[in-house]
Structure 1
Amino acid sequence: MKPFTRLAKAGVLGMNSRNLDFIAAYNPRRYYPLVDDKIITKKLAIEAGVTVPEQFGVIRYGGEINIIERIAKKRASFVVKPSRGSGGGGIMVFNGLAKTGLRRMNGQITPWADVKYHISNMLSGMFSMGDGSDSVLIEERLVPHSAFSKLAFGGVPDVRVIVFRGIPVMAMLRLPTAESDGKANLHQGGVGAGIDLVTGITTRGVQHNDSVDLHPDFETPVRDFQVPAWPEILELASRLGHHIGLGYVGVDIVICEHKGPTLLELNARPGIAIQTANLRGLRPLLMPVHKLPSVPEDVHERIEICKANWRGEPLDRFIAPGDEV
């Protein structure tokens, strides 16, 4: 049997099917700016009652670059990122003010000239999706939940939840490593751990598509870890996924020590590596939700559908009278 055929039989969602059957079919292009621009996303999240990092300032053109100095005098730590950036490109994290510049998380000092040059590159659109200039967002640096002290190296872990029609269908925990330079990006060497949607407990770990049992830096087990505040994470993802107007979306959430589950960003084109982390295909989870004539407005009812779907139960009982096809 050919590898492609085996993957299809296992229910693995390929890139072409993701693009045509779910992104193109369920994500109207007019809504893309709502998730591609982090400033707009933040406003929508607040409207939906979702916790977001505090915004310290926005730099929209070169004449405003000195805003960074005023913020640095007031704030102990903060993150600087392109508003329309992707894949973590261009992001700078600082945790203190020095005489000659700003202190990075590794203790090194970035001179003011280098900081401002980097911001100029962000404004030019160097790290952004599409063509044209961009804005620079300066916001609170989130402190990861203490439960991750031996699972996250030099950065902030996050949870990626795939939400389809407002219903979470799959999730993974992304853990930063020394190899990934403290970033929770799998393609840079981070660890991904599949999550049981019902319990919030990790089921297995992967790094570079290879199965791993231990975090490479701490030798701490990455499976059987209870993700903190799991019910709140599911509710946040479902609430925002339903509110945003996109049928197929990735919701990235940080479990902050002080704020609890907090939206990091949304992705209208979430990757398919989450299937490797879970050792489970997306298609058998997507199709039952696709076949539902409608989905409930109530977030708690959508979470019940999510859990039943994950367990492989028929979703007939969630079809309202009169909605049958």
Structure 2
Amino acid sequence: MISFLRKFKEAGILGINRRIGEFILPYNPRENYPLVDDKWLTAELAASNAIPMPEHYAMVNEFGRVKDVPLLLKDRSSFVVKPANGGMGNGILVIDKTTWDENGIPTYHRVGGREMIYKELVHHISGILSGLYSLDGNSDRAILQERLTAHSFFKEISYQGIADIRVIVFCGYPVMAMLRLPTKESGGRANLHQGAIGVGVDLKDGVLSFVVHKNKIIPEHPDTGQRLEGRILPSWKEILHLAASCYELSGLNYLGVDIVLDERRGPLLLEMNARPGLGIQIANKKGLMSALRWVEETSGVKRSIEERVEMSRRHL
């Protein structure tokens, strides 16, 4: 066991305890957590700083308003329902389209083909309000959000849903990145805990590398059969610039930034995470420690977002 841990340390792997003790606790002001934990607050913060995000249609914050959801969405055939304080993709519901019968009763068609009737949607939103999916177990709010159109780059390599790019940012410097692609198992959601795949991304040019599924390296996407290594993500510099700008936006030094690539609008901030997971190291086949230590030695000089991004691309 000691030999095993020594090998991890020598490889520069960041573990949970070191992540918390050396980076999250000392570098992330506790008072800033609500800005990233609460997705509605994140959206308001982004809007006030001209950071592009998916449109938020409405928020349901009390049980008496649940019955108004069909009215709130009457002009929206597709949409996303998510808890304001959720985590790990729990509670997110993606509706691909809505159909209405002759009496005006809606049926909601989820990504993957499953249908939901109005009562099921109400039940799901009520679960969100009761805190079923919240990070702290307390009562929550439900956000009704725009469903994006995936960039054409993902058409042949992803399984339904919307892919996203996770970038770890430390003191304003991007230090590691991973593409997350939905699978049939994940229900079209780009969440590793629910069965999505992660793909390492080279910081310099956005070139895809290793594919990981449930912490194991695999050769290709399990559903599309497409090999991913060597493909280049579009708008890579813009993605890194958006991720790095979240340092100033959030006031957090160590965070994960999730970005989606929309066909029409380009890179959009999806959300930020003050406690990003560590599976990104497996997808890149390298540890985070050397990059984090490099930033600690480098970040004493005040630099622009553009300068930080270019330094990360050159050195990491």
Q: TM-score range by the shorter chain?
A: over 0.9
How many residues align? The count is: 310
Residue 98 of structure 1 pairs with residue 95 of structure 2: no
2:8 aligned residue: 7
Once residues 240 and 47 of structure 1 are traced to their aligned partners in structure 2, the CA distance between those partners, rounded to angstroms, is 13
Among 108, 114, 118, which residue is 2:120 paired with? 114
1:162 pairs with 159, 168, 180, which one?
A: 168
Q: CA deviation at 1:240?
A: 1.4
Which region of structure 1 is more displaced relative to structure 2, 247-256 or 296-305? 296-305
**1:216 CA displacement:** 1.1
Q: Which moved more, 1:25-34 or 1:87-96?
A: 87-96
CA displacement, residues 122-179 of structure 1 (integer Å, 9 cap, x when unaligned): 0011100113211110010011101101121121110000000011000000111112
Contact 1:163 1:248 in 2 (8 A): yes
1:108 CA drift (Å): 3.1
* TM-score, length-scaled by structure 2: 0.94
Give the 5 Å matches for 1:87-236: 87-94=88-95, 95-99=97-101, 100=105, 101-236=107-242
Does structure 2 conserve the Cα–Cα contact (< 8 Å) formed by 1:79 and 1:141? yes
Question: Residues of 1 paired with 2:199 and 2:108: CA distance?
Answer: 33
Equivalent-residue separation in structure 2 for 1:16 and 1:82 (angstroms): 28
TM-score, length basis structure 1? 0.92
Give unmatched runs, 5+ long, in structure 2.
none
Per mean C-alpha deviation after superposition, the further-off stretch among 219-228 and 91-100 is 91-100
After TM superposition, give the deviation of residue 297 of structure 1 in Å.
Answer: 4.4
What secondary structure sits across from 1:34 in the alignment? Answer: helix
Contact 1:296 1:302 in 2 (8 A): no
Which amino acid letter does the alignment assign opposite residue 222 of structure 2?
P
**1:163/1:170 contact within 8 Å kept:** yes
Stretch moving more, 43-52 or 250-259: 43-52
- Does structure 2 conserve the Cα–Cα contact (< 8 Å) formed by 1:170 and 1:197? yes
In structure 2, the partner of 1:315 is none
Specify the code of the residue in structure 2 equivalent to 1:307: R
Give the secondary structure class of the aligned counterpart of 2:74: helix
Q: Quick check: 92-101 or 51-60, which moved more?
A: 92-101
Q: Out of 141-150 and 40-49, give the one that drifted further.
A: 40-49
User: Aligned residue for 1:50?
Assistant: 51
Given that 1:72 and 1:96 are in contact with CA atoms closer than 8 Å, whether structure 2 keeps it comes out as no
Q: How far apart, in 2, do the equivalents of 1:293 and 1:209 lie?
A: 32
Moved over 6 A (4+): none
2:220/2:228 contact within 8 Å kept = yes
CA distance in 1, matches of 2:247, 2:64: 36
Match of 1:21 in 2: 22
Of 248, 259, 270, the residue aligned with 2:254 is 248
Aligned-residue offset at 1:189: 2.0
Q: 1:293 to 1:160 in 2, by over 3 A?
A: closer
Q: Percent identity between the aligned chains?
A: 42
CA RMSD of aligned residues (A): 1.4
SS in 2 for 1:289: helix
Post-superposition Cα deviations, 1:302-325, rounded to whole Å, max 9, x if no partner, equal: 112212330xxxxxxxxxxxxxxx
Q: Residues 48 and 105 from structure 1, CA distance in 2 versus in 1: closer, same or farther, beyond 3 angstroms?
A: same
**CA deviation map 1:47-88 (0-9, x unaligned):** 332210111111110111123111332112110111001111
Confirm whether residue 77 of structure 1 aligns to residue 78 of structure 2.
Answer: yes
Quick check: 1:59–1:65 contact (8 Å CA) kept in 2? yes
